[in-house]
Amino acid sequence: MKYVLIILGLFGIVVSALALREHYRTEGDSPCSINERWDCGIVNHSPYAMLGGIPVAAIGMLGYFLMGLLAARRAYPLVLAMVLVGLGFSLYLAHVEKDILGVWCVYCVISLGIISLMTLVSTIATFLSFRASPASHRP
């Protein structure tokens, strides 16, 4: 489980880095501008692409790095807590894309898939870690 979470975290960093590159792109068309419903440029240049003055993609890179680091230490309950926050935020951003902007970002959808898989894997890993050593988790 540890290695699966680390690999997913690395994929998340790459996808977030691509979205961050798109956030700072000033020239030319977005490489993922597919049609009027799929355009990373529109999404990553919208006001929703920033949180407290920080690009959401940069926050995603940091989050995926920390989740991978915690997974490497087998701190599965902490990974699960982080991925649940990440999943909630990703679902909020999907709502923004669908209902407010009306445009989807390929990178964001891939990131949602990654965080969803990380949620599943970290839930299983947390369950198995508690099951493997029940005496150490009882009051």
Strand partners, 74: none
Q: Within a domain: residue 52?
A: yes
CA-angle at 53, arms to 49 and 55, nearest 5° = 35
Q: How many domains does the chain have?
A: 1
Give residues with Cβ within 8 angstroms of 95, minimum separation 6.
none
pLDDT digits (tens, 9 = 90+) for 69-108: 999 999 999 999 999 999 999 999 999 999 999 999 999 9
95 token code pair: 């709502």
d(CA 89, CA 83): 10
> Does some domain include residue 74?
yes
Task: Please report whether residue 14 resides in a domain.
Answer: yes
Which domain CATH number covers 71?
1.20.1440.130
Using one digit for the tens of pLDDT, what is the confidence trace for 41-74? 889 889 999 999 999 999 999 999 999 999 999 9
Model confidence, pTM: 0.88
User: Could you tell me which of 30, 69, 70, 68 has the C-alpha nearest to residue 49?
Assistant: 30
Range of the domain at 7: 2-134
For residue 103, which phi and psi values (nearest 5 degrees)? Answer: -140, 140
